[in-house]
């Protein structure tokens, strides 16, 4: 598209109008964009379709494109195979990871932001290192140590998961504290608030959105882990991913796998929606619509 | 901090010590490279395979993710649809994704059913010699990650530059080439590093959707580690050490590439 600006015409009447006339889509471009978006939408959504269909199929013999017999047998079997217990265990484990990793990450990030840490680059390097290293390496190195120290499996799993979650919480909180103004806390102290009151009434409310994002990310780390739980737990800690893995490795369990998988998707999705709603309410509706709660924390990697 | 140091340093350190034969579960400790040589062929094949899977997944994720990010930053209703669906993909565990891709693409999966192709004629996408299902699963999950990261960066900066360039007479292709892509480059490089290292060291997807032999490094390490023979432990640790070295090399390369981008502060 060549741009010609006729002589004598006002070039910048106002930003809105300029951008509209200069960047108005052409019909061909518009069609291409819609097709492209459709393909991308299909790309992201398609892998979820079999889960939805299989979870309500009792029988689905081969060439049929839709289930041949609808029903909830998969759900029944999944419940009978300890699905609820595994779900609860996964939930507890992930919540514990979030509950430990979030405050730790926040404290480390605050210390880094205030500048009270010696060799800050080294410290943040070590805190971010689990991102760059495969989880199974840490597990294989440490199981011997954990065994010799007689640390219970569940504590070992928790320890490793917290370390895996720390990079996310530290980074999210580092970004949060970079935008956080300590003067608010000093002001409150000057006005006679105790340290506890400052923490509870000033500090925490100001960083709450960041804390929520950090907690969500560390919850995800615990929720989706498979290798650490299997290797350290040695098969004794049956979490939801563990069940999905063992059924998916077998043959003919398609309906159970689908039900279990769906139940593994629902909690993080609910949390994501809650997080988005929390963030919007907190910002008083001033946020740009394109910045989703995850985007703001994930781009923190930069 | 201490926990991270313990887990990272301890993990690598003890893996190294074990792989050199200094920390056996039974018997005398002695320094040797036996563990590295015991599965020499498997190890070399695993390195090649893992690198190939990680490279393919990273390249495809970056291309698809960048395209999705461009569509998202257009900000129209179609962009919002793509943004919503890709954000929806992010919190799904990889294992669940792998199970679902298996149900979709195996020879009795949904796609051959819809296309009406009998299982015998359907190509070996799951468990085939090209590891297509594994790469597709990684690409599906990680392209959503790239889209999220890049769209986040572009949303905050690109609109003004893009408008200015348009006002100065830049064509669409030129704006994409000289404005949008350079702005997105650091974000793409960072996410590429993360994806590459993740796919190199991730176990469950390759285990579920791959074939028994040859094995990528994590699967090989996992099998050796959980095998009944106790001597296999050092061999598993040796695989772990090799994987770590590759990861560190990739991170170093990526950081070097990042420093060469003009926007990196």
Neighbouring C-beta atoms of residue A250, cutoff 10 Å = 10
Which positions in chain A touch B25 (Cβ < 8 Å)? 144
CATH topology of domain A84-284+291-301: MetI-like fold (1.10.3720)
- Mutation to test the B interface, candidates A2, A20, A23, A44, most B Cβ within 10 Å: A44
3-class secondary-structure state, position A59: strand
B159 assigned to some structural domain: yes
Cβ proximity of A128 and B244 under 8 Å: no
Res B140: pLDDT = 94
What does the pLDDT average to over B99-103? 89
Using CA of residue B169, residue B171, residue B177, residue B179, what is the dihedral sign?
positive
Q: How confident is the model at residue B233 (pLDDT cuts 50, 70, 90)?
A: confident
B157 assigned to some structural domain: yes
Residue whose entry in the numeric block shows the structure tokens 């010590």: B17
Which CATH number does the domain housing residue B170 bear?
Answer: 1.10.3720.10
Say yes or no to pLDDT of B197 above 70. Answer: yes
Instruction: Give the contacts of A264 (CB within 8 A, at least 6 positions apart).
Output: A90, A223, A240, A241, A244, B92, B93, B95, B96
Of A40, A123, A298, the CB nearest to B152: A298
Secondary structure element (H or E) that encloses residue A69, with its range:
strand A69-70
Q: How confident is the model at residue B15 (pLDDT cuts 50, 70, 90)?
A: low
Identify the bridge partners of residue A70 per DSSP, sorted by sequence position. Answer: A57
Task: Return the number of CB contacts < 8 Å for A and B.
Answer: 301
Cα nearest neighbour of B239 on chain A: A137
Q: Does A41 touch chain B (CB under 8 A)?
A: yes
Most A CBs within 10 A among B15, B101, B103, hence the mutation to make, goes to: B103
Q: Could you give the CA distance from residue B49 to residue A238 in angstroms, rounded to a whole number?
A: 31
Looking at residue B182, what is its pLDDT?
85
The answer for A 102-161 residues in CB contact with B (under 8 A) is 104, 108, 123, 126-127, 129-142, 144-145, 159-160
The string of pLDDT tens digits covering residues B205-218 is: 998 888 887 889 98
Q: Which two structure tokens, joined as six digits, stand for A291?
A: 């910045």
CA A196 to chain centre: 30
Inside any domain, residue B6: no
Measured between CA atoms, the residue of chain A closest to residue B159 is A19
- Residue B236 near residue B225 (C-beta atoms within 8 A): yes
| Rounded Cα–Cα distance for residues B55 and B197 (Å) | 10
pLDDT per residue as tens digits for the range A27-78: 777 788 888 888 888 888 888 888 888 888 777 777 777 787 777 777 877 7
Residues of chain B with pLDDT > 90, as a percent, come to: 23
- C-alpha B115: how far from chain center: 30
Asked whether the predicted pLDDT for residue B33 surpasses 50, the reply is yes
As a whole number of angstroms, the distance between CA B170 and CA B199 comes to 39
Q: What is the mean pLDDT of each run of 10 residues along chain A (302 residues)?
A: 50 48 65 86 87 81 75 77 86 94 88 78 76 78 76 85 86 86 88 89 89 93 90 83 86 84 90 85 51 44 36
Is A299's CB within 8 Å of B187's CB? yes
Q: Report yes or no on B154 lying in a domain.
A: yes
A104-136 per-position pLDDT tens digit? 888 888 888 887 777 777 777 777 777 777 878
- Give the whole-angstrom CA distance, residue B120 versus residue B116: 12
Q: How far apart are CA A98 and CA A219, in angstroms?
A: 5
pLDDT at B10: 61
Query: Using alpha carbons only, what angle is made at residue A215 by residues A211 and A217, rounded to the nearest 5 degrees?
Result: 120
Does A178 touch chain B if contact means CB atoms closer than 8 Å?
A: no
- Domain of B202? 13-21+31-91+143-259
CA distances for B115 relative to A42, B103, B108, angstroms: 16, 15, 11
C-alpha to C-alpha distance for A24 and A297, rounded to whole angstroms: 32
Q: Is B194 within a domain?
A: yes
Please report, for chain A, the start and end positions of each structural domain, with discontinuous segments joined by +: 84-284+291-301
- CA geometry: angle B99, A241, A85, nearest 5 deg: 130
Nearest to A299 among B4, B152, B202 (CB): B152
Q: A131 and B7 in contact (C-beta within 8 Å)?
A: no
Is this structure's pTM higher than 0.95?
Answer: no
Q: What are the chain B neighbours of A41 within 8 Å (beta carbons)? A: 78, 81-82, 85
Q: Which residues pair with A69 in a beta bridge?
A: A59
Contact present, B206 and B128 (Cβ < 8 Å)? no
DSSP SS3 for A58: strand
Confidence of residue B9 (pLDDT cuts 50, 70, 90): low
Count of structural domains, chain B: 1
- Nearest residue of A to residue B101, measured between CA atoms: A47
Quick one: closest CA in A to B105, which residue?
A47
From the CA of B39, how many Å to the nearest CA of chain A?
17
Highest mean pLDDT among A58-62, B63-67, B220-224, B251-255 belongs to: B63-67
The reported pLDDT for the residue numbered B31 is 55
B252 token code pair: 């170093």
């Amino acid at each position: 598209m060549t741009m010609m600006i006729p002589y004598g015409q006002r070039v910048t009447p106002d930003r809105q109008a300029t951008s509209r006339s200069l960047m108005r889509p052409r019909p061909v471009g518009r069609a291409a964009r819609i097709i492209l978006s459709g393909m991308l939408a299909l790309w992201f959504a398609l892998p979820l379709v079999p889960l939805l269909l299989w979870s309500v199929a009792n029988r689905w013999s081969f060439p049929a494109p839709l289930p041949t017999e609808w029903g909830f047998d998969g759900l029944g079997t999944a419940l009978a195979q300890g699905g609820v217990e595994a779900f609860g265990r996964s939930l507890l484990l992930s919540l514990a990871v979030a509950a430990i990793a979030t405050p730790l990450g926040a404290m480390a990030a605050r210390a880094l932001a205030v500048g009270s840490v010696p060799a800050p680059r080294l410290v943040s390097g070590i805190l971010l290192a689990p991102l760059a290293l495969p989880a199974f390496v840490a597990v294989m190195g440490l199981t011997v140590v954990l065994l010799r120290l007689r640390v219970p499996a569940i504590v070992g799993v928790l320890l490793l998961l917290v370390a895996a979650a720390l990079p996310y919480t530290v980074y999210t909180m580092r970004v949060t504290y970079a935008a956080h103004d300590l003067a608010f806390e000093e002001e409150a102290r000057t006005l006679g608030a105790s340290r506890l009151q400052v923490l509870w009434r000033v500090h925490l409310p100001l960083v709450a959105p960041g804390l929520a994002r950090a907690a969500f990310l560390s919850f995800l780390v615990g929720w989706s882990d498979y290798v650490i739980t299997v290797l350290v737990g040695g098969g004794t800690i049956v979490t939801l991913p563990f069940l999905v893995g063992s059924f998916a490795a077998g043959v003919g369990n398609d309906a159970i796998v689908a039900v279990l998988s769906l139940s593994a998707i629902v909690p993080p999705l609910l949390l994501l929606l809650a997080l988005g709603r929390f963030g919007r309410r907190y910002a008083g509706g001033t946020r740009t619509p394109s910045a989703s709660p995850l985007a703001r924390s994930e781009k923190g990697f930069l | 901090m201490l926990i991270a140091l313990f887990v990272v340093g301890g993990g690598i350190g003890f893996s190294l010590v074990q792989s050199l034969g200094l920390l056996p579960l039974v018997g005398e400790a002695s320094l040797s490279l036996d563990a590295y040589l015991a599965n020499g062929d498997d190890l070399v094949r695993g390195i090649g395979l893992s690198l190939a899977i990680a490279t393919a997944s990273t390249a495809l994720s970056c291309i698809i993710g960048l395209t999705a990010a461009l569509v998202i930053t257009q900000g129209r209703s179609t962009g919002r649809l793509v943004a919503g669906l890709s954000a929806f993909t992010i919190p799904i565990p990889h294992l669940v994704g792998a199970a679902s891709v298996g149900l979709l693409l195996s020879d009795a999966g949904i796609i051959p059913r819809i296309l009406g192709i009998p299982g015998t004629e359907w190509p070996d996408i799951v468990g085939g010699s090209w590891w297509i299902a594994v790469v597709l699963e990684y690409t599906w999950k990680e392209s959503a990650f790239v889209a999220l990261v890049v769209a986040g960066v572009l949303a905050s900066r690109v609109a003004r530059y893009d408008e200015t360039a348009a006002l100065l007479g830049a064509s669409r292709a030129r704006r994409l080439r000289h404005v949008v892509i350079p702005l997105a480059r650091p974000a793409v490089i960072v996410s590429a590093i993360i994806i590459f290292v993740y796919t190199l060291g991730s176990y469950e997807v390759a285990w579920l959707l791959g074939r028994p032999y040859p094995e990528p490094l994590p699967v090989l390490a996992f099998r050796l580690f959980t095998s009944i023979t106790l001597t296999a432990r050092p061999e598993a640790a040796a695989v772990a050490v090799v994987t770590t070295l590759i990861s560190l090399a990739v991170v170093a390369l990526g950081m070097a590439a990042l420093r060469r981008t003009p926007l990196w502060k």
